């Protein structure tokens, strides 16, 4: 007879009369391997052991698990785990049950591509599927999603719980803006279909909802005809105002025949032109940039611009790209071009040491490191102050900074304010991604750097919002959600009243 400590003294199926009818008992594992895997994540900073791990073979088993928790006098917590690519334990459930969503993988049957006159092309995708799987399934029909993350081995349920951002978001919105419908198991154990028109409160709550309101088991994702190739250009700057002015020009919705993708980043000694995110440059181009970097006090900026194409505009694409970049203010002679397949472009992250055209999952070496990342959204009106104090000062003099540093803009009107995701209150805002890697015992150094940046923003009254947020106190969470806090709390009471779901986010557990 299976018996776990998770439902205090009265674990329901210790008496044969209350055995659940599903396979739930046999799908729960408590062996050391299962517990260890669910007690770590990509961040390698937080380690919380669950009491058990569910490897579901059906959605009904997840429903049963959540219902079971609700039936306990003291409910146990439940966290869906996509690929565990969070960095601060957000997919963990100390003492509760982690649901390994990958186990649902429905033998390739988790993705179905369809078309309807009112919706156009779309894919119904299991929440456990990765974006790499969605790309593969779409391309079998010549179709692809319109909004991506830089790295494709993240799950649909995991990125929709945050936002899902990349260089396409300025044009198409984040991934949460490109979802037509969801199936969600709420914290009460109800399996509901929701959309803008049906159960809309649940729909908007879940998008960017940090796993607080339900477990996404299906998402209907917008697709369109996939381009076949990409012209990929990188431009180098040493002037922050030109770097940002040009990015804002490129993301302007007034631009005729504009780019499909725009992402800015910093180049420093610790964040070199080629890194684990990208192996764009040839050795000679890399040497040329590094020599410029030495001449420019160790700080350069780079814009990546991409324009997709296919058979219909092969003859004109070079001219289109030339028009796009000819009046930009980059350093003369520092324009680098590539012409790659659409799949090669989307697979660029995690592919840095591989010459194959398909992306791979982050390797074991990277997983042995700690990743004390900081991701922020910043209002455009304060980016000059931020550059002076943070990019050209705090980060530059911090010799330990290591890993890519992203800095690129979005258009707010591509985000729906009814969603739980939180962004600054200005039409143009930027993201900063400090994607540090460190030896686990050195992560404090990076935590201190992150703290110094956040303290500067607080003192300078720059209203930043963390992306993939991590706070420890109720006050900080209230401040993070700002005017959305009341509705966030009300939705929690409505959809997960016993505070069962995604405890690793420490939003409501910090209130208990």
Provide the residue count of the chain: 512
d(CA 387, CA 241): 9
Which residue from 34, 27, 21 is spatially nearest to 2, judged by alpha carbons?
27
Phi-psi region for residue 382, left (φ > 0), alpha (ψ -120 to 50) or beta? alpha
Closest contact distance (angstroms) between CB of 209 and ligand FAD is 8
Residue 212 CB, shortest distance to ligand FAD, in Å, is 8
- Identify which of residues 11 and 377 has a Cβ nearer to ligand FAD in the complex: 377
> What are the phi and psi torsion angles at 287 (to 5°)?
-60, -40
- Least distance in Å: CB of 319 to ligand FAD? 30
Q: Are 183 and 217 in contact (CB under 8 A)?
A: yes
Is 458 an active-site residue? no
Minimum CB–partner distance for residue 126 and ligand FAD (Å): 8
What CA–CA distance (Å, rounded) separates 80 from 421? 19
- Shortest Cβ distance from residue 115 to ligand FAD (Å)? 25
Q: Which is nearer to ligand FAD, 42 or 410 (CB)?
A: 42
Residue 434 C-beta: closest distance to ligand FAD, Å: 13
Catalog residues that contact ligand FAD under the rule CB under 6 A.
Answer: 42, 79-86, 90-91, 101, 127, 149-151, 154-155, 157-159, 161-166, 210-211, 215-216, 362, 468, 502, 504-505
DSSP state of 438: B
Q: Which is nearer to ligand FAD, 321 or 372 (CB)?
A: 372
**Do residues 506 and 476 touch, judged by C-beta distance below 8 A?**
no
Residues 215, 184: contact at Cβ < 8 Å? yes
Catalytic site residue 85?
yes
**Eight-class DSSP state of 132:** H
Q: Give whichever of 133 and 246 is closer to ligand FAD, judged by the CB atom.
A: 133
Catalytic residue among 85, 371, 436, 480: 85
User: Which is nearer to ligand FAD, 210 or 499 (by Cβ)?
Assistant: 210
- Report in angstroms how near the CB of residue 395 gets to ligand FAD at its nearest: 20
Closest CA to 492 of 509, 508, 475, 471: 508
Q: Is the distance from CB of 372 to CB of 447 less than 8 angstroms?
A: yes
Rounded CA separation 501/80 (Å): 8
Q: Using alpha carbons only, how large is the chain's radius of gyration in Å? A: 23
C-alpha span between 345 and 12 (Å, rounded): 51
Sequence-distant (≥ 6) Cβ neighbours of residue 60 within 8 angstroms: 22
Catalytic site residue from 263, 344, 369, 496 = 263
Angle between helices 485-495 and 474-481 (to 10 degrees): 110
302 has which bridge partners?
236, 265
Q: Which is nearer to ligand FAD, 387 or 431 (CB)?
A: 431
Give least dist CB 470 to ligand FAD, A.
Answer: 11
Q: How far apart are CA 65 and CA 67, in angstroms?
A: 5
CB of 231 or CB of 436, closer to ligand FAD: 436
Are 434 and 452 within 8 A, CB to CB?
Answer: no
DSSP state of 490: H
Nearer to ligand FAD, 123 or 328 (CB): 123
d(CA 434, CA 355): 26
Q: Which of 48, 133, 150, 183 is catalytic?
A: 150
Residue 228 Cβ vs ligand FAD, minimum distance, rounded to whole Å: 23
Question: Rounded to 10 degrees, what is the CA torsion of 436, 304, 353, 402?
Answer: -20
Q: Is 150 a catalytic residue?
A: yes
Per-residue DSSP letters for 298-324?
A: T-EEEEEEEEEE-GGGTTTHHHHHHHH
Could you give the residue ranges of the DSSP H alpha helices within 334-374? 342-346, 364-368
Task: Give the residue with the Cβ less far from ligand FAD, 62 or 236.
Answer: 62
- Which of the residues are catalytic? 85, 150, 263
């Amino acid at each position: 007879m299976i018996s776990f400590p998770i439902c205090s003294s009265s674990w329901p199926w210790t008496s044969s009369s209350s055995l659940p009818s599903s396979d739930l008992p046999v799908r729960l594992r408590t062996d050391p391997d299962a517990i260890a895997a669910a007690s770590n994540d990509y961040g390698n900073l937080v380690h919380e052991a669950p009491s058990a791990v569910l490897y579901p073979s059906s959605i009904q088993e997840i429903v049963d698990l959540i219902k079971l928790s609700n039936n306990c006098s003291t409910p146990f917590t439940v966290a869906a785990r996509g690929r565990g690519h969070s960095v601060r334990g957000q997919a963990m459930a100390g003492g509760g049950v982690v649901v390994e969503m990958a186990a649902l993988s429905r033998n390739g049957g988790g993705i179905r591509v369809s078309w309807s006159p009112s919706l156009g092309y779309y894919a119904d995708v299991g929440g456990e599927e990765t974006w790499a799987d969605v790309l593969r399934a779409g391309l079998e029909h010549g179709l692809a999603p319109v909004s991506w993350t830089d790295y494709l081995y993240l799950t649909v349920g995991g990125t929709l719980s945050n936002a899902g951002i990349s260089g396409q978001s300025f044009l198409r919105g984040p991934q949460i803006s490109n979802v037509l419908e969801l199936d969600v198991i709420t914290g009460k154990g109800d399996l509901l279909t929701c959309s803008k028109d049906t159960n809309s409160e649940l729909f908007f709550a879940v998008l960017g909802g940090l796993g607080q309101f339900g477990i996404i088991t299906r998402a209907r994702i917008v697709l369109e005809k996939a381009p076949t190739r990409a012209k990929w250009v990188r431009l180098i700057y040493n002037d922050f105002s030109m770097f940002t002015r040009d990015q804002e020009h490129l993301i302007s919705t007034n631009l005729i025949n504009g780019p499909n993708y725009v992402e800015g980043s910093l180049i420093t000694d610790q964040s070199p032109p080629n890194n684990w995110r990208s192996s764009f440059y040839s050795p000679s181009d890399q040497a040329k940039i590094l020599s410029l970097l030495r001449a420019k006090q160790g700080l350069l900026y780079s814009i990546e611009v991409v324009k997709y194409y296919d058979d219909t505009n092969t003859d004109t694409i070079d001219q289109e790209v030339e028009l796009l970049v000819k009046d930009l203010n980059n350093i003369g002679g520092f324009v680098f071009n590539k012409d790659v397949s659409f799949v090669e472009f989307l697979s660029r992250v995690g592919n840095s040491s591989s010459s194959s055209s398909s992306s791979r999952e982050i390797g074991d070496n990277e997983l042995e490191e700690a990743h004390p990342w900081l991701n922020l959204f910043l209002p455009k009106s304060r980016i000059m102050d931020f550059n002076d104090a943070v990019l050209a000062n705090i980060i530059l003099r911090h010799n330990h900074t290591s890993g890519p540093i992203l800095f690129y803009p979005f258009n707010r009107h591509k985000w729906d304010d009814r969603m739980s995701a939180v962004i600054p209150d200005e039409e143009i805002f930027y993201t900063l991604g400090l994607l540090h890697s460190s030896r686990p015992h050195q992560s404090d150094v990076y935590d201190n750097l992150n703290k110094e940046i956040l303290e500067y923003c607080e003192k300078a009254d720059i209203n930043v919002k963390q992306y993939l947020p991590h706070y420890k106190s109720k006050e900080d969470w209230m401040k993070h959600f700002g005017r959305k806090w009341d509705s966030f709390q009300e939705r929690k009471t409505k959809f997960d009243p016993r505070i069962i779901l995604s405890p690793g986010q420490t939003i409501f557990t910090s209130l208990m």
